[in-house]
């Protein structure tokens, strides 16, 4: 098993002592097949136990270890050291306040997810005794792609509009709303539109497409957002030009 010497430049920030962040260089011996997360774990275990960062599954399903690696939003557990040359710069996910070291403040994101009512709101209440909601494979396929989001926030780090306009509800939240709107069992679209079709909803999106490029699960949030824009636009013109069509 071969080894390699890797230099990492990691952003450090101690909220109790530091006025602003600084970069700290670590040089560690790593295994050839390691990912950046392995290097961080090695640093924390053997070199500097004060280094703070989030991680959990180490297999790209929990969404915890999102970081900026050489300026690109990536999951640390999915970033192979062999793909990098020279010093690897590791910073907290962009566009979020820094709590400590590589840990970001994600309160804004969590609040936005909750705002879109990410749960099934049935068209008509149906007691459990009446049986399950049935769904064809085609109906499932319609929204399946948007269920794959692991809430890793890489899309928020990549989105330039979220960087400029912090109130923008963001790609993951809108994709999540779209996931439920497209679900045949759901009837809550009108309620979600209050959040999604607002100015800080989908209308701050300029279809940069960076969100879909960095998404590790291929959710394609950019697609969800454009679909929401078109549906919302059709709705608006119907409502204002043909009000008699309202149910």
Partner 1 sequence: MAQSNKPIVWGPFAAGGTITAFLTPVLILLTLLAALGHAPDLFAYGRMHAFAGHWLAKAAIAGTVFLSLWSTAHRLRITCYDLGVRADTLVAVIVYAGALAGTAASVLYLTRI
Partner 2 sequence: MSRNPYVREIPKFRWFFRHPRYLRYMAREFTCIFIGAYTLLLVAGLSSLSQGPAAYQGFLDWLASPASIVFHVLAFGFSLYHSVTWFNLTPKALPVQRGEEFVPDSVISGAHYAGWGLLSLVVLVLAGAF
3 binds partner 1 (CB under 8 A): no
Give the number of residues in contact with partner 2, rule: CB under 8 A: 34
18's torsion region: left (phi>0), alpha (psi -120 to 50) or beta?
beta
Which two structure tokens, joined as six digits, stand for 87? 């010093």
12, 227, 232, 235: residue in contact with partner 2 (rule CB under 8 A): 227
Measured from the CB atom, the residue of 81 and 176 that comes closer to partner 1 is 176
Burial class (CB in 10 A: 0-12, 13-18, 19+), 44: middle
163, 234, 237, 239: residue in contact with partner 2 (rule CB under 8 A): 163
Sheet containing strand 72-75, edge to edge, reads 22-31, 3-12, 88-92, 66-69, 72-75
Residue 227, binding choice from partner 2, partner 1, none, Cβ under 5 to 8 Å by partner class: partner 2
80 binds partner 1 (CB under 8 A): no
Q: CB under 8 A: which stretch of 37-45, 67-75, 131-139, 226-234 binds partner 1?
A: 226-234
Three-state secondary structure call for residue 119: coil
Measured from the CB atom, the residue of 128 and 242 that comes closer to partner 1 is 242
Count helices and strands (H / E) in the chain.
9, 7
The separation between the first and the last C-alpha atoms of the chain, rounded to the nearest angstrom, is 68
CB of 15 to partner 2, least distance (A): 4
- Which DSSP letter does residue 145 get? G
97 binds partner 2 (CB under 8 A): yes
Query: Which positions lie near partner 2, rule CB under 8 A?
Result: 13, 15-16, 18, 20-21, 71-72, 94-95, 97-99, 105, 137-138, 141-142, 160, 163-164, 206-210, 213, 220, 222-223, 226-227, 229-230
């Amino acid at each position: 098993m071969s080894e390699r010497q890797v230099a990492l430049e990691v952003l450090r920030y101690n909220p109790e002592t530091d006025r602003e962040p600084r970069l700290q260089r670590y040089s560690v011996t790593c295994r050839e097949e390691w990912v950046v997360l392995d290097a961080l774990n090695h640093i924390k275990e053997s070199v500097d136990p004060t280094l703070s960062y989030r991680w959990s599954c180490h297999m790209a399903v929990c969404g915890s270890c999102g970081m900026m690696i050489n300026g690109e939003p990536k999951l640390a557990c999915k970033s192979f050291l062999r793909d990098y040359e020279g010093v690897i710069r590791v910073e907290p996910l962009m566009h979020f306040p820094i709590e400590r070291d590589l840990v970001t403040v994600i309160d804004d994101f969590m609040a936005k997810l909750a705002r879109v009512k990410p749960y099934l709101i049935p068209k008509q209440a149906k007691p459990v005794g009446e049986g399950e909601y049935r769904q064809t494979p085609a109906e499932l396929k319609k929204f399946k792609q948007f269920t794959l989001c692991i809430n890793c926030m890489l899309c928020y780090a990549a989105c330039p509009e979220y960087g400029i306009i912090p109130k923008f509800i963001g790609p993951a939240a809108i994709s999540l709303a779209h996931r439920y709107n497209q679900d045949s069992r759901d009837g809550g679209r009108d309620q979600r539109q209050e959040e999604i079709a607002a100015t800080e909803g989908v209308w701050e999106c300029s279809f940069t497409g960076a969100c879909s490029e960095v998404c590790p699960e291929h959710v394609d949030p950019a697609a969800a957002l454009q679909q929401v824009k078109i549906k919302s636009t059709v709705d608006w013109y119907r409502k204002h030009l043909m009000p008699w069509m309202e149910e």
